[in-house]
């Protein structure tokens, strides 16, 4: 039956940046769909683990700073030693630095590009190699942004990184679709998390944003849940290289 296609029983899902925000919402959803979830964070993911334990779901935690490339192997080994295999990678961890383009430092540029783009590639590559070994395919879900489509204001490195991640999603999908690995992305709209606290603290900016969202509200981590389960499941096996906007209609306007 069609709803069975969405079940993730027996699957192992790795979610980066799972301690808070959208990563927490997606990790909870994947666990609710039946996956064992590896929560990756640079600090404790106890809050997320508590939410998963509350409904009897299964998860483990891997502490890793994703600004360091050594973390790629640490994440994969942590997942394999906990559950023996991996099936789903959600590249959610990301940072944003708001500053006039004219004043952006090289250090801040590199920090954003490293976490938001380079680590997404390196983790995807390491997981795809593991998926090949397991020979049962796999799912990679990247987290893009409205700024994969638009320029934004005062976030040039972030826009560059998220635009690149949308392109990378297509590039990897083309190479790995024949191996049964689907690479897709979700582009969240304006969501109420730490990432947007500065915007939401600015009453005028916040009002202008809400006014432009057809749905008339900020998104929430729960708004990501249906889409991530779909892209992680058999239900999306013939979907490759696509970026799904979960944006309350922002891009339609």
Residue 67 interacts with ligand NAP (CB under 6 A): yes or no: yes
Minimum distance, C-beta of residue 140 to ligand NAP, in the bound complex (Å): 14
Cβ-based nearer residue to ligand NAP, 57 or 188:
188
Give the C-alpha separation, 58 to 143, whole Å: 23
Which residue in 74, 80, 82, 95 binds ligand NAP (CB under 6 A)?
A: 95
Q: Is 83 a catalytic residue?
A: no
CB neighbour list of residue 208: distance below 8 Å, 6 or more residues apart:
none
SS3 240: coil
Question: Measured from the CB atom, is 61 or 193 closer to ligand NAP?
Answer: 193
Q: Determine the interface stretch with ligand NAP among 6-14, 86-94, 169-177, 226-234 (rule: CB under 6 A).
A: 86-94
Of the listed 83, 158, 190, 230, which one is catalytic? 158
26: nearest Cα among 214, 222, 236, 208: 222
Distance of CA 93 to the CA centre of its chain: 6
Of 8, 11, 15, 19, which one interacts with ligand NAP (CB under 6 A)? 19
**Radius of gyration over every alpha carbon of the chain, rounded to an integer in angstroms:** 17
Q: Is 149 in the site for ligand NAP (CB under 6 A)?
A: no
* Strand, coil or helix: 60: strand
78 binds ligand NAP (CB under 6 A): no
By CB under 6 A, the count of residues binding ligand NAP is 27
| C-beta of residue 139 within 8 angstroms of C-beta of residue 90 | no
Count other Cβ atoms within 10 Å, centred on residue 106.
7
Q: Which of 108, 35, 112, 38 is nearest to 77 (CA)?
A: 38
Per CB under 6 A, 75 contacts ligand NAP: no
Would you tell me which residues interact with ligand NAP (CB under 6 A)? Answer: 17, 19-23, 41-43, 65-67, 92-96, 115, 143, 145, 188, 190-191, 193-196
Q: Would you please indicate which residues are annotated as catalytic (active-site) residues?
A: 158
């Amino acid at each position: 039956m069609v709803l069975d296609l969405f079940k993730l029983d027996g699957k192992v899902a790795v979610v980066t940046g799972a301690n808070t925000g959208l990563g927490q919402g997606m990790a909870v959803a994947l666990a609710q769909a039946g996956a064992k979830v590896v929560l990756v964070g640079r600090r404790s993911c106890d809050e997320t683990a508590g939410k998963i334990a509350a409904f009897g779901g299964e998860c483990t935690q891997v502490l890793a700073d994703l600004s360091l490339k050594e973390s790629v192997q640490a994440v994969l080994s942590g997942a394999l030693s906990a559950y023996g295999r991996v099936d789903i990678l959600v590249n959610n961890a990301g940072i944003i630095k708001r500053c006039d383009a004219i004043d952006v430092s090289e250090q801040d540029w590199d920090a954003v590009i490293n976490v938001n783009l380079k680590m997404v590639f390196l983790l995807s590559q390491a997981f795809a190699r593991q998926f090949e070994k397991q020979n049962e395919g796999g799912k990679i879900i990247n987290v893009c942004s409205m700024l994969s489509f638009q320029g934004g204001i005062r976030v040039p490195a972030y826009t560059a990184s998220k635009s690149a991640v949308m392109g990378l999603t297509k590039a990897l999908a083309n190479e790995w679709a024949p191996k049964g690995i689907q690479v897709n992305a979700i582009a969240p709209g304006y969501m109420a998390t730490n990432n947007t606290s500065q915007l939401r603290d600015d009453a005028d900016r916040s009002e202008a944003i809400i006014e432009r969202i057809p749905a008339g509200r900020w998104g929430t981590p729960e708004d990501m849940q249906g889409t991530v389960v779909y892209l992680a499941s058999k239900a999306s096996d013939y979907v490759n290289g696509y970026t799904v906007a979960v944006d309350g209609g922002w891009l339609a306007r």
